C-alpha cells in the first residue's frame, strides 16, 4: 500500500493578480506579478460571534438542550513583503496613477488607493514520494486569497537592502471564477497546469489545495482567460 504524506514546505513564489470589483480576474498585459523572493507577513483572522451559547437546564441539573456558541472568521488581515513592485503592474491593478513622459511610463503617483486583488502563495509539497511507490503527483500547495481594501506602503530606508514594499489586505469570501492562471495539477498532462471545471470559491481563511508548480517566470505576467469558462457549483 502506498501512503501519501502531505506537508506544506517553504514558500516557492507569491503572486498578486488584478481583479474587478466582483473579484473576477482581469486578464491581459501586466495582469499579474509573481515573485520568488517575496515573504508572507502576519496572517490575522478577524472573527465574530454569529450564534450565542444556548443552555436549558432542568431543576435537577440535567441539561435538556445545549447549543454551543459559534464563532466564524469574517475576514483575515494578510500582509506580504516584496522587495520591488513594478509600476506597470501597480497601474494595471489600479493602485497608482502612472506618470508618462514621451510615451513611456517613468513613475507613478500613489494616492493610497485601495484595490481588490487575488493573492496566491505556492509552497513546496513535501513528502509526496516519502513512502515509496514512485508516483509523481502535485508538486505544490497553493493558498489563494481574495483580498479587499488592499493598500501598498513602503518600509525601511530607501537605497538599502532593508527597503521593501508592504502589501496589506483583508481576505474575504468570494467566487474568483477559474482563477487568474491555471493552478491545478492534471495527471493526464503533468507538464501543464490545468484550469478547474468548477469555479473557485475562497473563504475568509483562503482556499488551500494541491496545485501544479508555480509559473517558471517571475515579474509581471500577461494573464489569458481560459477557453472553457468554469461552472459555479450548485
Can you give the residue ranges of every domain in the chain? 10-43+74-223
- In terms of residues, how long is the chain? 234
Q: In the prediction, which pLDDT does 132 show?
A: 47
Pair 212, 195: CB distance under 8 Å: no
Which CA distances in Å does 200 have to 39, 123, 178, 196?
Answer: 24, 19, 6, 8
- pLDDT (0 to 100) of residue 128: 55
151 bridge partner residues: 168
Mean pLDDT by 10 residues, the chain (234 residues): 70 96 93 95 88 85 84 91 89 87 83 90 78 65 96 81 88 96 91 94 94 94 94 78
34 vs 219: CA distance, rounded Å: 5
The three-state (H, E, C) secondary structure of 141-159, written as one string: EEEEEEEEEEEEEEECCCC
Q: How far apart are CA 234 and CA 82, in angstroms?
A: 38
Q: How far apart are CA 104 and CA 92, in angstroms?
A: 15
The pLDDT tens digits for 85-119 are 888 888 888 888 888 899 887 888 877 788 999 99
Query: So what's the pLDDT on residue 92?
Result: 86
Residue-level pLDDT at 135: 56
Q: Output the pLDDT for position 194.
A: 95
**What's residue 2's pLDDT?**
53
Q: What angle do CA 27, 117, 33 make, to 5 degrees?
A: 65
CA distances from 211 to 14, 49, 140 (A): 14, 33, 5
What's the whole-model pTM score?
0.85
Amino acid at each position: 500500500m502506498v501512503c501519501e504524506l502531505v506537508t506544506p514546505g517553504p514558500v516557492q513564489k507569491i503572486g498578486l493578480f488584478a481583479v474587478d470589483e466582483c473579484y473576477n480576474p482581469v486578464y491581459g498585459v501586466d495582469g499579474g506579478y509573481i515573485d520568488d523572493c517575496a515573504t508572507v507577513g502576519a496572517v490575522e483572522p478577524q472573527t465574530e460571534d454569529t450564534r450565542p451559547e444556548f443552555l436549558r437546564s432542568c431543576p435537577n441539573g440535567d441539561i435538556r438542550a445545549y447549543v454551543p456558541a459559534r464563532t466564524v472568521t469574517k475576514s483575515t488581515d494578510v500582509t506580504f513583503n516584496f522587495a520591488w513592485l513594478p509600476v506597470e503592474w501597480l497601474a494595471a491593478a489600479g493602485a497608482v496613477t502612472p506618470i508618462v513622459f514621451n510615451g513611456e511610463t517613468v513613475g507613478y503617483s500613489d494616492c493610497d488607493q485601495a484595490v481588490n486583488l487575488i493573492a496566491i502563495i505556492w509552497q513546496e509539497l513535501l513528502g509526496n514520494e516519502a513512502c515509496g511507490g514512485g508516483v509523481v503527483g502535485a508538486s505544490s500547495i497553493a493558498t489563494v486569497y481574495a483580498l479587499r481594501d488592499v493598500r501598498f506602503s513602503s518600509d525601511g530606508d530607501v537605497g538599502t537592502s532593508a527597503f521593501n514594499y508592504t502589501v496589506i489586505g483583508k481576505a474575504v469570501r468570494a467566487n474568483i471564477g477559474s482563477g487568474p492562471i491555471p493552478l491545478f495539477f492534471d495527471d493526464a498532462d503533468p507538464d501543464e497546469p490545468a484550469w478547474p471545471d468548477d469555479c473557485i470559491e475562497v473563504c475568509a481563511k483562503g482556499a488551500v489545495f494541491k496545485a501544479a508548480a508555480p509559473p517558471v517566470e517571475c515579474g509581471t505576467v500577461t494573464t489569458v482567460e481560459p477557453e472553457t469558462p468554469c461552472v459555479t457549483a450548485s
